[in-house]
Structure 1
Amino acid sequence: MDYPLRPGVVWAGQYRIEQFLGMGSYGQTYRCTDLKNGTAVLLKRAKPSKREIGRRLLKRESEILQQLNHPQIPAWLDWAVHRREQALVMAYVEGEDMEQAILLLGRTYTEQEAMLLILGLLRPLQHLHEAGYVHRDVRIPNVLLKNDKVHLIDLGLACRTGEEDPSRREGEPSGFADSWGPIKYRMRMPDPTSDLYGLGHIFLFLMYAGYSPEEGQEERSWEEELSLQPRVKSWVKGLFESKWRTAVECEQELAHILADYSAGNNE
């Protein structure tokens, strides 16, 4: 039922499928050509197996994107109906996601480079939060890297601040049965601090990309395994403990830390 669309298929008489990009819990994404102007676009359809909840979440994502206008968030372009299906069409952002950069390309990051990436993500999050929404899925697969810029993508689980989790209505399974359950549960809370919590885990992923444990060493906590400057370690813990209620507060603290780096004071 969820078999990807074939390249060459034309959706709604306008969007030609060029490449299947991936499949998430509720949707499939494709790089397409807009036959009206020749530009590349991203088309997202709900997974047919998810039925009503997939269609509802896709429609919600479309409505949220129409309320946003930020250069680091893909722009809404169209809601395209094809036979009995609908699809969300948005601007296509070229680049690799952070997961690919780390796991496939072997990219590593210094402490300062990782903080600069987080600083870049705080800006689209601030725009999202000020519009009244929470992303709820701030993870490395949802961060696109292009040259020196970062983009926040995939608002499929986004909702209004304080709203009931839309993916758990009508008895939908929570999906938190694995060992990452508590982390996912915290990230899915409809509160801006959930997105900041996700940023903390992104930072640790970036730091662990260059970490190699000694042979035979037992697994320890990230505070023990990673050699972070004290102020940086405190900042990461603050993300996990909801020390900052807004992206602006978090950005101000991070800017102070980075200013100290530039001045040569890393303590």
Structure 2
Amino acid sequence: MLRPIRKIYQFIVDKPIKKSGIVNHRYQVLEMIGSGSYGMVYLCRDLLTREDRILKQLRPSRRKAMNEIKLFHDEVSVMGNLKHHRMPVFYEAFSESGHYFYVMSYIKGVNLEDEIFQNKKTFNEKESLLFVAKLIQVVDYLHKKDIYHLDLRIPNILLKNNEPYLIDFGLAKQEKPNQSNENDRKELKLQDYYDIGDILLYLLYTTYSSKTKKALPWTEELSLRQETVLLVKKLLRMEKPYSSIDGILYDLYVAVKALEESE
């Protein structure tokens, strides 16, 4: 019974900021471009710099719960530690009239999910592997800073000049070496690896055309090189999982090389 009540409460309380509304005397809302369980995201014009920015707001229905506010501040902390050309740039965080916001750069790219499902973009086996290799380099940057994304999915990847840009750090965790044990960090790392494997499967399926109504395992539906199959299985923990990104990149190189030699 609690869930329907919560949904009704959110519907009443979580009203988006109106178009042309100005936040913090600086950010003029152009449109709401997304919303999730915890946040509402707007494309805004920075009236000071005349540049477009992304404004993220903690849902009004969640702004009075201390644990929700802490999660929002944790996200702000993670964003403030990111300095990578394929991730958003963090500018500032603030509260206004009891609401919580932060501002980041606007990446003018196309969402990978939209590209696949609306624009019918496809990736062959080699293209899938090379794309994931680029994505892994971004994830490697995070892991070297003890940051784990934990929500690596195609809706959280933007395409710009055929390069993957990583967004939405709402579930990300930054671990401090003296506050967590090695097993905890290993599990977080493996979760990101698993999600990379899931993304790779999505890409590989973009060229798949079903010839039967019977659902089969991906190992039977997809015609892949054995090197690619092993890579996916290790990412998805169907085989002994990877212990490092270097291991993933090596197997990616082997899989791409095998494809090139067969061309």
Question: What CA deviation, in whole Å up to 9, does each residue of 1:88-123 have, x standing for no partner?
Answer: 111111111111111111111101111111111111
Q: Aligned AA for 1:92?
A: Y
Question: What CA deviation, in whole Å up to 9, does each residue of 1:219-251 have, x standing for no partner?
Answer: 011111111111101100010116212223212
Partner of 1:2: 14
Q: Aligned AA for 2:81?
A: Q
Q: 1:201 aligns with which of 193, 198, 202?
A: 198
| Aligned-pair CA distance for 1:161 | 4.0
Instruction: Say if 1:109 and 1:209, in contact at 8 Å, map to a contact too.
Output: yes
Correspondence 1:219-258 to 2 at 5 A:
219-241=215-237, 243-258=241-256
Partner of 1:185: none
Partner of 1:133: 147
Provide the TM-score with structure 1 as the length reference.
0.84
What is the DSSP-based 3-state SS (H/G/I as helix, E as strand, rest coil) of the residue aligned with 2:86? coil
Q: 1:59 aligns with which of 73, 84, 87?
A: 73
Cα distance in 1, alignment partners of residues 38 and 57 from structure 2: 9
Partner of 2:97: 83
Q: Aligned AA for 1:259?
A: K
Q: Aligned AA for 2:125?
A: E
Partner of 2:5: none
- Asked whether 1:22 is paired with 2:18, we answer no
Cα distance in 2, alignment partners of residues 121 and 240 from structure 1: 16
Instruction: Say if 2:227 and 2:254, in contact at 8 Å, map to a contact too.
Output: no
| Aligned-pair CA distance for 1:47 | 1.1
C-alpha distance 107-248 of structure 1, shift in aligned 2 (>3 A): same
Instruction: Say if 2:225 and 2:255, in contact at 8 Å, map to a contact too.
Output: no
Partner of 2:82: 68
Cα distance in 1, alignment partners of residues 69 and 228 from structure 2: 42
| Aligned-pair CA distance for 1:6 | 1.3
Cα distance in 1, alignment partners of residues 255 and 218 from structure 2: 20
Aligned length: 239
- Asked whether 1:213 is paired with 2:210, we answer yes
Cα distance in 1, alignment partners of residues 109 and 126 from structure 2: 22
Cα distance in 2, alignment partners of residues 54 and 146 from structure 1: 32
What is the DSSP-based 3-state SS (H/G/I as helix, E as strand, rest coil) of the residue aligned with 1:191? helix
Provide the TM-score with structure 2 as the length reference.
0.85
What is the percentage of aligned positions where both structures have the same residue? 29
Instruction: Say if 2:148 and 2:188, in contact at 8 Å, map to a contact too.
Output: yes
C-alpha distance 82-37 of structure 1, shift in aligned 2 (>3 A): same
Cα distance in 2, alignment partners of residues 248 and 6 from structure 1: 47
Instruction: Say if 1:200 and 1:239, in contact at 8 Å, map to a contact too.
Output: yes
Question: What CA deviation, in whole Å up to 9, does each residue of 1:11-55 have, x standing for no partner?
Answer: 101111111111111111111111110111111111122232433
Structure number with bigger Rg: 2
What is the DSSP-based 3-state SS (H/G/I as helix, E as strand, rest coil) of the residue aligned with 2:142? helix
What is the DSSP-based 3-state SS (H/G/I as helix, E as strand, rest coil) of the residue aligned with 1:192? helix
Two-structure CA RMSD over aligned residues (Å): 1.8
Cα distance in 1, alignment partners of residues 124 and 203 from structure 2: 8
